[in-house]
């Protein structure tokens, strides 16, 4: 009878140990799955953020390039108008300061 009790107690302890091991194993598996999910989620977020930043960098570089081209075109336009402007200023100056000639004040003069 004592041996049967010891065997029964031993059997209960083994079952309790087995149950504890199974529960711990299940808990670890659940934690591993949760961790893997969070890693995959974070990886996806980082990849998406990287792609968004790359797209923004590409569009920003394109806009910078477009604006640089606009600046070059404006500089060329200003340069193309500098000689006619000098000519007009010279003619206006000559017209304003005519020696021995009656001075003329008309619409082109007054602008």
pLDDT by residue (tens digit) across 5-20?
A: 889 899 999 999 999 9
Structure confidence at residue 109 (pLDDT): 62
Contact 103, 96 (CB under 8 A): yes
In DSSP notation, 25-68 reads: HHHHHHHHHHHHHHHHHHHHHHHHHHHHHHHHHHHHHHHHHHHH
Tell which wins on pLDDT, 106 or 88. 88
Structure confidence at residue 110 (pLDDT): 63
pTM (global) more than 0.75: no
How confident is the model over 39-77, as pLDDT tens digits?
Answer: 999 999 999 999 999 999 999 999 999 999 999 999 999
């Amino acid at each position: 009878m004592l041996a049967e009790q010891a065997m029964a107690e031993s059997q209960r302890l083994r079952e309790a140990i087995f149950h504890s091991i199974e529960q711990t194993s299940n808990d670890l598996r659940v934690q591993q799955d949760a961790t893997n999910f969070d890693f995959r989620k974070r990886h996806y977020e980082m990849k998406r953020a990287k792609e968004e930043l790359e797209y923004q960098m590409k569009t920003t570089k394109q806009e910078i390039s477009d604006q640089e081209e606009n600046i070059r075109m404006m500089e060329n336009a200003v340069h193309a108008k500098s000689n006619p402007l000098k000519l007009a200023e010279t003619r206006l100056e000559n017209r304003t300061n005519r020696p021995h000639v009656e001075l003329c004040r008309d619409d082109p003069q007054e602008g």
